[in-house]
Chain A
């Protein structure tokens, strides 16, 4: 079983819907991350959590709302998204936010209609 799991793997939603993406890591790590991967653009860091505290918000629009209830779980709440938000959303974790390699989940492929 992979160390970082994400659900759902695929999601189609309308612009008025509210949905949540879930990430769980089984590696005992303390830092978790959300990335966005759009077609023809580099991976973009969205949020960083260290010991459940948000340490980085990379100028992400408020229609994306992260939640980290504990070091093993990370959510991304979505509401009133735009079609340009369609992308692969990747979750990652690392032992600490300092210099460690990050381990990624399989991602959620999001399509906004």
Chain B
């Protein structure tokens, strides 16, 4: 069965610090996608990134970067120079294909608090 583990339940750092959110996944599929979503206090999940299983290149988008390591089944997310607005719950998710439809399996989420 597919599984996503975000071992860090809560992280609290001071503004401008770098912070890494861990994500480890389990799957038997050779083709899959990994996602990160941000859930601010308003509730909606905001899509951040999608990565397919054949692309292990790291990605950087502004202060955000992602490190995909297939050998360790990890897809970690780093925020550089964190800001108060980064405070949210962050979810890592793994997709599986069931009956022709993609099903997202989410981790438990990591609550990130950035203190001024």
Contacts and interface: CB of A to CB of B under 8 A. Distances in A.
Nearest to B108: A42
Contacts of B97: 98-99
A104 interface: yes
Interface string B81-116: 000000000010001011111111111110000000
Interface stretch (A13-21, A43-51, A77-85): A43-51
A7 interface: no
Which size class do B's interface residues fall under? 20 to 34
Interface secondary structure of B, over-half rule:
strand
Contact of B98 (A2, A43, A56, A104): A56
Interface residues of A, number: 29
B45 interface: yes
Interface of B: 4, 33, 35, 37, 42-47, 50, 52, 91, 95, 97-109
Interface of A: 2, 4, 31, 40-43, 45, 48, 50, 55-56, 58, 88, 90, 92, 94, 97-107, 109
